[in-house]
Amino acid sequence: MKITLTSTSQQTPETVIISIAQGETYDLALEAVAKEITTSLATLQNDFKAEHGELLVVYNNTGQRLILLGLGKYPGFGEILKAYRSLTYKWRNKLGSTIGLSFLHQNLPAEENATKWIEAAVNGCWLSTYQIGRFKTKNGKEHPFKAPDATLTIFIAEDQPTATLRKAAAEGLAIAETQGRILDLVNAPANKKTPQVIGEWAARSGQTYGYKVQVLDKPAIEKLGLHALLAVNRGSEDPAVFIIMEYVPDDIPVDQLKTVGMVGKGVTFDTGGVSIKPSTNMHFMKSDMGGAAAVLGTMETAAKLQLPVHLIGIVPATDNSVGSTAIKPSDVIDSYSGKTIEIIDTDAEGRLILSDGIAYLKKHFSPDVIIDLATLTGSAVRTFGYHAAALFSNNDSLAQKLLEAGHQTGERAWQLPIWEIYQDHLKSDVADIKNYSGRPISGAIDAAKFLQFFVDGHPCWAHFDIAGVAFADQEFSGQKSATAFGIRLLTTFLKTANQVI
Ligand code: BES
Ligand code: ZN
Ligand code: ZN
C-alpha cells in the first residue's frame, strides 16, 4: 500500500474517512462536512454523535464518498486503531483501493498530536487486511488495500510537520506488516508450527531485515546444557530449538548503546504434559508461544525502524507433550543456571524454559535490561480478563517506562507485586526451588517469583504475563485469535530505552 501525504484537497480518492471525536472539535468538524455536502449542521448533529465506532456515510456533490467515523471522547491510540481497523474490515467489500484519511485541524483536537492519530489509523487500516483462513482451500477475496495499486492519501493541514507525520504513517504500516506476519504465526496450528518452523521464521526475518539469528538444534542445546528446556521437550517427537537473535543499528557503535535482552516463551502447544489439561479449549494452547511471537515481532520492527538500541531476543521453543519419556511430577531436573528444580506440576512448563532463557541471556550478553514475555498463567487471565497484561518488575523506573509505553500504544498492562513473602510458596524439600506451590492461589505472582529466582539479583528486570491478551475474542474471528500483543508496546519503549535506563 502506497502512502502519500498532502495538504491540498486536489487528489480525490473514491472514499475519504473523516474521524471525529466527541468534544470541542465535534462541531467544527461537522460544520466543514455540512458545508461540503450542502446540508445543515443541525442535521448532521442529529445523525452523527461521534460515539466510538459510529459511522455516517455521506456523498459530496462530486460524488465522493465521505465516511464519518466516530472516535468517542478522548480516544487513545488503541481506540483510534480499533475504530479504523473495524471500519476498514467491515467495509472491505465496499471500499476501493484508493482511500483518503482526513486529519485536518477541524477534526483533530488542538491538544492532540497528529502523529499518534496517523500512526494508529494506518496501523488499523493495514491490520484489517489480515485474513485468518490461511489453511482454507478456498479463501475470501483479498482486501482492496492489498491491491498493487492501492494508495492511502493522508490529508493534513498546511502547518503540520509533514516529515514527522510521513514517518508516523510509515511506522504505522511497518509495524502492522510485522504484526500481520506474527498473527499468522500465532494462529497457526501446532502441527504447522513446530519449533523448527519458528526457528526458520526467525532466520528468514533476520536475513530480510538485517539482524543476526542463530537457531540451536537439539544436539547444540544438549551440549550447552539447557536442561530445563530439554526436560519440557522430553515427551515430544519434535526436537526443541533455542533461538538467539541480536540487532545493532547500522549507524551507532554498539558500545554507545544500552543492551536490552528479551526472552519469549515459545511453547508451540501446551497439553499440560503428564499433568494433562482438560480437553475443553485445549486447542487454544497453540497460542502458548505468544511471548515468543512478541519477541520475534519486536526484533523485526526494531531492525526495520533502525531503533537506537542493542537488542537481544531469546526464544526457547518446544511443545509440552505427553509421552512415556515425558517428565513427571516429583522429578528433579537440572537447569542452565546450575540450580535444581522439583517438578510439582508439568503444566507449569513455561517458567522452566524461561529460566534457561534468562540464565543464558545473563551469562552471554550481560544486558542492562531483561524483559520476558509469556502466556504464563491462567491466574493472569482470571485477574485481568482479556484486557490487560500483568506486569512484574524489580525496578520501579523500568516498570514506569513500560506502563507508559503500554498506555501510549493501547496495549494495557498493570503492575502486580513480587514481595519476598511469596518466595516461600516455592520452597522445595528436595531441590533448590519447586515449579508450583501446589495450591491454586497467587498463581501469576508465584510464577513471577519463580522467574525472579533465575534473574538472580539482576537489578533491572520486568516480566509480562500475557496469557489473557495474546489470544482473545475479536470481531475478526469467530473464535479467539491472536492479537500480536507486545510488539507495539516494546517498540515504543525501545525508541527511548537508550536514554531512560
Ligand atoms: N500456558 C499455560 C497458561 C495459560 C492459561 C495461557 C490460559 C493462556 C490461557 C501455562 O503453561 C499453564 O498451564 N499454567 C498453569 C500453571 C499451574 C499448573 C501452576 C496455570 O496457570 O493453570
Ligand atoms: Zn502449562
Ligand atoms: Zn504453557
**Distance of alpha carbon 34 from alpha carbon 270, whole angstroms:** 56
List per-residue pLDDT tens for the chain, 501 residues long: 999 999 886 668 999 999 999 998 999 999 999 999 999 999 999 999 999 999 999 999 899 999 999 999 999 999 999 999 999 999 999 999 999 999 987 778 776 778 999 999 999 999 999 999 999 998 788 999 999 999 999 999 998 999 999 999 999 999 999 999 999 999 999 999 999 999 999 999 999 999 999 999 999 999 999 999 999 999 999 999 999 999 999 999 999 999 999 999 999 999 999 999 999 999 999 999 999 999 999 999 999 999 999 999 999 999 999 999 999 999 999 999 999 999 999 999 999 999 999 999 999 999 999 999 999 999 999 999 999 999 999 999 999 999 999 999 999 999 999 999 999 999 999 999 999 999 999 999 999 999 999 999 999 999 999 999 999 999 999 999 999 999 999 999 999 998 766
Which ligand neighbours the alpha carbon of 469 most closely? 1
Kindly tell me the sign of the dihedral angle through the C-alpha atoms of 31, 7, 154, 14: positive
Could you tell me the three cell numbers for 37? 455536502
pLDDT of residue 84: 98
Rounded CA gap, 181 and 198, in Å?
Answer: 12
Ligand 1 nearest atom to the CA of residue 272, by list position = 13
78/489 Cα distance (integer angstroms)? 11
Q: Is the CB of 349 under 6 A from ligand 1?
A: yes
Report the number of secondary-structure helices (H) and strands (E) in the chain: 14, 20
Ligand 1 pocket check for 378: Cβ under 6 Å: yes
Output the pLDDT for position 24.
Answer: 87
Distance 347 CA to ligand 2 centre (A): 3
The residues with which 332 forms a beta bridge, in sequence order, are 342
Distance from the alpha carbon of residue 317 to the mean position of ligand 3, in angstroms: 11
Neighbours of ion ligand 3 (CB under 5 A): 267, 270, 288, 350
130 lines ligand 1 (CB under 6 A): no
Residue 378 CA to ligand 1 center (angstroms) comes to: 5
Distance 71 CA to ligand 2 centre (A): 39
pLDDT at residue number 328: 98
377 touches ligand 1 (CB under 6 Å) = yes
Pocket mutation for ligand 1, best pick of 285, 376, 450 (most atoms within 8 Å of C-beta): 376
How far, in Å, from the CA of 357 to the mean position of ligand 2? 17
In whole angstroms, give the CA distance from residue 257 to residue 285: 37
Atom of ligand 1 nearest to the CA of 345: 18
Ligand 1 centroid to Cα of residue 443, in Å, is 9
Integer Cα distance of 472 and 112 in angstroms: 30
> CA nearest 48: which of 66, 60, 61?
66
Asked whether the beta carbons of 361 and 426 are under 8 A apart, the reply is no
Calculate the alpha carbon distances from 171 to 90, 175, 232 in Å: 24, 6, 38
Q: Which residues of 473-495 are buried (b: 16+ CB within 10 A; e: fewer)?
A: ebebeeebbbbbbbbbbbbbbbb
| 54 Cβ closer than 6 Å to some ligand 1 atom | no
Is there an atom of ligand 1 within 6 Å of 379 CB?
Answer: yes
Q: Is the CB of 436 under 6 A from ligand 1?
A: yes
pTM: 0.97
Phi-psi region of 486 (alpha: psi -120 to 50; beta: other; left: phi over 0): left
Looking at the CA of 378, which ligand is closest? 1
Helix H or strand E encompassing 415:
strand 413-415
Give residue 302 CA to ligand 2 midpoint distance, Å. 30
Asked if residue 276 has its Cβ within 6 Å of ligand 1, the reply is no
Tell whether ligand 1 has an atom less than 6 A from the beta carbon of residue 381.
yes
CA distance 343 to 331: 5
How many angstroms separate the CA atoms of 499 and 48, rounded? Answer: 44
Active site residues: 277, 351
User: In DSSP terms, which residues pair with 318 in a beta bridge?
Assistant: 267
Q: Which atom of ligand 1 is nearest to the CA of 277?
A: 13
Instruction: For ligand 1, atom 5, name the residue with the nearest CA.
Output: 378
Report the length, in residues, of the chain. Answer: 501
What gap in Å lies between CA 476 and CA 140, rounded to an integer?
13
Q: Which residue is closest in CA terms to ligand 1's atom 17? A: 348
- The 3-class SS string of 55-112 reads EEEEECCCCCEEEEEEEEECCCHHHHHHHHHHHHHHCCCCCCCEEEEEECHHHCCCCC
